[in-house]
Structure 1
Amino acid sequence: MIHAGHCLCGAIRFSFTGVPNWVLHCHCESCRRATASAMTTFVSVPDSHVVWSGPPPARFASSPGVTRGFCPTCGSPLFYRNDRLPGETHLYAALLDDPGALTPEGHDFIDERIAWMHPLPDTRPPHA
């Protein structure tokens, strides 16, 4: 199966094939600030399965060993990479053309969630 997505302005497009490693909601403070949202949902994909088109994403080292990619035109966050998780790219599920095609499996960094943000009942137990 091929999944495709793009940034807000459409300048940068991406696609990936196959089944993701995982799909999770992240509640960490860093991701909340990077996306200006209460949480974000990531799709973890092997680097070799991701194809980019358009201009290269801009990059920002948000913390030691962490790189976040974004569109230099519209500012849409595009990916997260962590040196502790080599070989995988975490794409933002909301950028997919059909974000409903993938179902989140659970929550990450639940201990950092905003107090009013409650986990969804149909996901596995949280882990940090």
Structure 2
Amino acid sequence: MTALSGRCLCGAVTWETDSPVLWAGHCHCDSCRRATSAPFTSFFGVRRASVTWTGARTTFETSGGRVERSFCTVCGTQMTYQNVIWPEETHLYAASLDDPAQFEPQAHFHYAERLPWVEIDDGLPKYAGSADAGDPMP
């Protein structure tokens, strides 16, 4: 396993992990779009306990305390998404990788919430919600 590392825009927050990537994909949900100000965001999951951090992060809770997002206190870059559904995982943003070429998406999640002007024909499976919720869309 190649170690992964990343940082925020200003470099005040950095992270490293030697965890294998548990999953990787693009999320189209409204919450992720609003948090990142982008039409969708690209994430990957790793074991939460495997991530080491430097620098100060602030957290923001949503969904009635079920979701926690962290971001750099200096530049505001989104760093993590954590959900009580997956208590052992940290979801990191692919764009924060020091080497973004290490990101290999496997699917689209919450594709039913995608913006109508986003057309994607990359051949990856598209799930209406999370992959935990069932089979890919036709």
The TM-score bracket by the shorter chain reads over 0.9
Question: Mind listing any 5+ residue stretches in structure 2 that lack a counterpart?
Answer: 130-138
**Match of 2:117?**
116
Paired residues, what number?
127
**Match of 1:31?**
32
Report the identity percentage. Answer: 39
CA distance in 1, matches of 2:9, 2:117: 28
1:60 and 2:70 aligned? no
CA offset at residue 106 of structure 1? 0.6
1:93 and 2:94 aligned? yes
TM-score (norm. length: structure 1): 0.94
Q: CA RMSD in A?
A: 1.1
1:107–1:119 contact (8 Å) kept in structure 2:
no
Give CA deviations for 1:48-72 in whole Å, capped at 9, x if unaligned.
21111122x1000022200000001
CA distance in 2, matches of 1:77, 1:122: 28
Q: SS at the partner of 1:97?
A: coil
TM-score (norm. length: structure 2): 0.87
2:19–2:47 contact (8 Å) kept in structure 1:
no
CA distance in 1, matches of 2:87, 2:19: 18
CA distance in 2, matches of 1:123, 1:101: 17
Q: SS at the partner of 1:100?
A: helix
Q: SS at the partner of 1:4?
A: strand
Which has the higher relative contact order, 1 or 2, with Cα contacts under 8 A spaced 6 or more apart?
Answer: 1
Give CA deviations for 1:64-122 in whole Å, capped at 9, x if unaligned.
20000000110000000001111100000000011111210010000000011123423
**Match of 1:7?**
8
Q: Report the structure, 1 or 2, having the larger strand content.
A: 1
**Match of 2:77?**
76
